[in-house]
């Protein structure tokens, strides 16, 4: 048994919709050929990734489809010795599709409650859809505090949805007992991370561009703010120019708390075990360092869990 499997693991940056593999896609959309699915899952930049993500979510047509995606994801996590996951559900996309969110949430939560993996949900708003949209998502999250939802965040296009729009939304979410995260510093520079911190984000999704700002690195260290690192994701979307150019080693060596994650494992053909393997084989992380990173995932979880 490999170290990467044996390690007790948690995942904190994981999108339900992006966990859909080509095989699960065939179950969700049997009318789509294997060739079409393969072509849709092939992309080389962030715009191509967004097109693929959109194609997938358009085929999550019912609560049953969301439940199937949840079941397949949690089966995959259990096989990898992942005991805890904070899964992002794009409530903003559900609203955009004009589907009934309550029905979909009830379906995915039923699946979660039947899994050996302990699941908490992060509800995600699409930042470039604006503040009113984000407030609708925050309200949905607030209604479900104590019923599986633990946090609120924003994703989407950093350039078209500046963090400054969302101050009131984050203030509301915090007041309702939600923990706070935000995608930042993925396709925009370190200033995007600073702006997310001003909102009150307790963890930063990606945050890799922080490596360009020494003051920001010191701030993340001194305030114990973790980055949710997703190596394969950043390579697949072109957020870094190559695997070797990824700053994960520099961030770690600077003392920034990091957690390894898959982001959208179905779309990026990865697993959490593979992310640990990449960290070891490409970036030279030792066994003791990987154990520390694995422990970080439990330490920085919004609903604190300890590995068995």
Burial of 288 (0-12, 13-18, 19+ CB in 10 A): exposed
d(CA 203, CA 50): 23
Identify whether 186 is a catalytic site residue: yes
Phi and psi, residue 82, nearest 5°: -95, 120
User: Which position among 11, 17, 186, 273 bears the catalytic label?
Assistant: 186
Task: Pull the structure tokens for residue 187.
Answer: 């396709």
Say if residue 78 is exposed, middle or buried (CB neighbours under 10 Å; 0-12, 13-18, 19+).
middle
Cβ-proximal residues to 11 (8 Å cutoff; 6+ apart), any chain = 77, 82, 84, 85, 86, 261, 262, 272, 297
What are the C-alpha distances in Å from 259 to residues 95, 206, 263, 291, 293?
30, 10, 12, 11, 6
Residue 179, both tokens: 């923990």
- Residue 275: name the closest of 82, 72, 54 by CA: 82
- Specify the DSSP element, H or E, that contains 149: strand 149-155
The answer to whether the CB of 177 falls within 8 A of the CB of 145 is yes
Give the catalytic positions in this structure: 186
């Amino acid at each position: 048994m490999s170290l990467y499997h044996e390690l007790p693991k948690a995942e904190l940056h994981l999108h339900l919709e992006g966990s859909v593999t080509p095989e699960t896609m065939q179950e969700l959309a049997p009318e789509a050929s294997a060739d079409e699915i393969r072509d849709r899952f092939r992309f080389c930049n962030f715009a191509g990734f967004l097109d693929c993500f959109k194609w997938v979510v358009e085929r999550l047509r019912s609560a049953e489809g969301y439940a199937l995606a949840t079941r397949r994801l949690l089966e995959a996590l259990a096989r990898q010795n992942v005991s805890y996951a904070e899964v992002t559900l794009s409530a903003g996309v559900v609203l955009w599709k004009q589907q009934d969110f309550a029905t979909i949430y009830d379906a995915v939560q039923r699946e979660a409650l039947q899994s050996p993996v302990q699941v908490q949900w992060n509800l995600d708003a699409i930042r470039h859809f604006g503040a009113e949209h984000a407030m609708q998502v925050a309200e949905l999250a607030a209604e479900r505090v104590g019923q599986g939802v633990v946090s609120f965040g924003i994703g989407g296009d950093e350039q078209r949805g500046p963090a400054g729009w969302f101050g009131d939304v984050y203030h509301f979410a915090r007041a309702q007992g939600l923990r706070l995260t935000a995608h930042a510093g993925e396709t925009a520079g370190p200033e995007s991370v600073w702006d997310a911190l001003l909102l009150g984000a307790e963890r930063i999704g990606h945050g890799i561009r922080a490596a360009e700002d020494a003051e920001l690195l010191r701030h993340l260290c001194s305030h114990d703010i973790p980055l949710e690192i997703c190596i394969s994701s950043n390579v697949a979307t072109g957020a870094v120019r190559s695997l070797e150019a990824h700053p994960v080693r520099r961030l770690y060596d600077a003392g920034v708390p990091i957690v390894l994650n898959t982001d959208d494992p179905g779309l990026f053909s990865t697993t959490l075990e593979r992310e640990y393997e990449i960290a070891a084989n490409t970036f030279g992380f030792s066994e003791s360092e990987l154990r520390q990173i694995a422990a970080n995932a439990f330490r920085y979880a919004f609903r604190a869990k300890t590995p068995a």
